[in-house]
Amino acid sequence: MKYMVAELMFKALKAWYKNGYVYLVLSDRKQVSFPVELNEKLRNASPEQLTNIEIICNGTGLHWPDLDEDLSVTGIMEGRFGEKE
């Protein structure tokens, strides 16, 4: 029986910010987006800070260096945006 590691299922090829949303193109060519309002640090950031997105960890994470914020692509796909529980 083969098991797939969830972190390897979703990889970002491209990420960008536009008009209140973060957009991703995944390795399977699907495009997904989420509103920055769902994340406390992103919600309060300037457009310049939001535009500065790095794809990290071989495509499995996003990093905003100006905000010291990281989100996993798997977490985004599961609806977890770094909000406090």
DSSP annotation string for the chain: -----HHHH--EEEEEEETTEEEEEETTS-EEEEEGGGSHHHHT--HHHHH--EEEGGGTEEEETTTTEEEEHHHHHTT--S---
The answer to whether 25 touches 13, Cβ cutoff 8 Å, is yes
Q: What is the reported pLDDT for 9?
A: 77
Instruction: Give the number of domains in the chain.
Output: 1
User: How far apart (Å, rounded) are the C-alpha atoms in residues 22 and 75?
Assistant: 14
The model's confidence at residue 85, banded by pLDDT at 50, 70 and 90, is very low
Domain interval for residue 68: 6-77
Q: Structure tokens of 10?
A: 């979703």
Mean pLDDT of 47-75: 97
Mean pLDDT of 7-26: 91
Mean pLDDT of 20-43: 96
Q: What is the reported pLDDT for 55?
A: 98
Q: What is the reported pLDDT for 82?
A: 84
Residue 64: CATH number of its domain: 3.30.2020.40
